[in-house]
Chains A and B, each alone.
Chain A
């Protein structure tokens, strides 16, 4: 199955699932044991080392994440899966990701969450590699810190 076909299938499931999930859906944190990043520390670099006349202060960083999402408790149930980023210090961090097709690409600001899957859970462990691009105002990223991402799943009761 090629990637575009897979995306199309996910979207199709999503339409069906959105009809199937009642308003009182329950939300759970997803166990992501085994998830690893490609590097222990991601350096945030100034997009332009020199601030410039218009004062561009953006810092950027990129890291690949191998995700392992343990979905066995919700196998064969319609669900929505979200990736969330815990609020960061200072200016809000913007995280944007590209996927290999098993999850949806997207972006999230610190303190928010974004839909990455909508459909019926078909496998107990969902594995996906994402490239995570991070961006923030470098003046507000004053020190090293650890960004905390997590996944939430919404299923009908």
Chain B
């Protein structure tokens, strides 16, 4: 039966209800004319109608009357909420479960039967298949973007389609959560060190893409995945252009609009500078605990984007200098005056002095002061947030101000002679160790206030390379002194790979330039 026939039946049934019983047969005869199928449908429905209300009421009572909580208690697990895709096989991918809860839209974990591995699947809006020109453009862009090979960009394995022509992207599967989920889990401002770390990794991804002339256009916390090891993976490169239609149309949720640049909000084309803006919004949200342009509906959000000048400094007076400047520069309304490339933001973030003191990643849990945001007027929000921040204890403290003795662990001490020399010139004693066991032997919890270590090194009698030696060291040291303070100074690659994990494990910081450590302990590096 076609849709219009169904609507016709619906209408006839309603009209028949007003007609006296005696005249119904004539009504059916007249209205269904020479359509016996329609007549049969209408007649049987009319027959079923008089007692239907009572029947459905009774059925409801019998099937639902005793309540569902007994059933719920018996149900196996809360996490396997049913989903039509789960359990299906598309192409050679067996869809297992949803990734990242409800926050990620339609991303599923699936088993790749051909290559015996787990992957993530994302289905593309079904409209794409209707218009071949849109589809061609989408595929062209998605393929260009999938060529991006960067540790902070989600690897795209392939773009495939279901039997009925629905496109989907096959991506590497990571264990972790979206930045959106992480922000919501935190419920308030994020520790500066964590926010810097995450935004720096996003900036790395953008810088790499911008260098190849690829613009993301839809950078938002839902598209930023943070793995369990703290590595940021930017998702959906090259898909955003197809999302443009969604953004401007009715389907655009407030969540998407909130990260749009002013030029996007005006419907103008987006370029690298729009990505810079969106990163600025994310950084603001992480540091302030509220979105800079928070509104209940997209229209108001766009108004705010075009007119408001949110002031991060007023909300977080405790921030290290520099970071608020970067946010402000990224949130410059006029694209021409905004940093034009991810690289510029990355450099700015790298120059930001890291706050002292232990990173409170592990302690960053929802507190009683959790900010309830989103609906209130922005001005009021700013006030509330500012107040709650004023009463926040400054956990960063001045942990490293009085370091006088350092234990430095590196299998290749020549790397650091310049910095060690500077430390000594400032009256800081340095004990050096070549390996983890060497360091644990030399470590004196009373004497050494700070440990500086590389991450990977050649160790042991056989001289095998241990990529995570720094973590082993931290564990050994912590057994001796639970609040041991350690900074890793290591290769740029190891910094990218391990920084978030190290900070989550309680390291004070992770730097690729050892001179930064001098700044951390309050010394000014001198030229070498």
Do the two chains belong together in a single complex? Answer: no
